[in-house]
Amino acid sequence: MPTIEEAADKIRRDRRSGASEIARRAAIILAVAADNARTDHALRRNMVRLGRTLLRAQPTMASLLNLVNDVLLASESPRNPKDRVRRVLETFYSEQDSGPGRMAGHLARLLKRGGRLLTHSYSSSVVQAIGVLRQRPEFRTPLKIVCTESRPLLEGRNTARQLAQMGIHVTLVVDALAGEYLEQGRVDAIVVGADAVLESGLVNKCGTVGLARVAGLRKIPVFALAGRDKFLPPALAHHIQIRPEDGAEIWPRHPSGIRLENRYFDQTPLPLVTSFVTPGGCLSPGQALKTMKSRLAHPLLAGRRH
């Protein structure tokens, strides 16, 4: 069995899994560390140390940051902090398990214009929600999904593969072709996941903002599937870092004199998102902002970067 440190390092090196999947694995690591703590002081120390390690590993994922934030708040409870940490983690697991199905129900009511959807990158929430959607008796529109390759890591192939295994009609396109699909009205809606939802915008795979702008011009709705864990308190937004990635991923052994710029994420302004589809219902950009502002932030995380 891998050590806690080895499991955390595996999360650090993961560049293909969705945010929800990574946060779930982090929750398991936090649960083990909490169970290993023999005193309340050791519990708080373990949560702070491991929380910082996990956030350094994946600094762009709000689900992970919110999870660590909630665990730290629970660990400082004056009574039964270990039990409170366990309840935070149990609630997280429950929301992860039930979230896609509940989001699928809300999404079904939004897709009145048809089931031709375009999705970008890989999101386990999106894949699961679409899988549930096709099985709902009230949703009779045949689903046809357009998936982008999502370069440079091509995680869109994983999306396409999983949806095709469900028996859904799937078309995989190169990223540069997605705009033409929107321009020609060949999709009814864009459905994407969310790595983070901030005051400044939706953080998702690089290219999302361009797709959202073209969709806005063509009056095509943009739906972002986001659990409660994706909405970040404003006091924690400074932790989210969109950092440059290895240029060799887009052109190995490239000629000298060429500057390569590679990033995995961008920010889409909130008004470009038609609706944030959450397990609890659909939120307008304004309602999403209120949700973020209502969340508490642990002083240790609010005061500095991890």
Active site members: 195
DSSP-assigned letter for residue 290: H
- Please give, one letter per residue, the 3-state secondary structure of 95-133: HHHHHHHHHHHHHHHHCCCCCEEEECCCCHHHHHHHHHH
Rounded Cα distance, 148 and 24, in Å: 25
CB-based contact 169:96 (threshold 8 Å): no
CA of residue 263 relative to chain centroid, distance: 16
Query: How far apart are the C-alpha atoms of 295 and 233, rounded to whole Å?
Result: 5
Helical H segments across 14-148, by residue range: 19-36, 40-57, 62-75, 81-110, 124-133
Q: Rounded to 5 degrees, what are φ and ψ at 219?
A: 60, 35
Q: Which residues lie closer than 8 Å to 151 by C-beta, 6 or more apart?
A: 175, 250
CA 300, distance to chain mean position in Å, is: 23
Do the beta carbons of residue 295 and residue 233 sit within 8 Å?
Answer: yes
Q: How far apart are CA 233 and CA 261, in angstroms?
A: 30
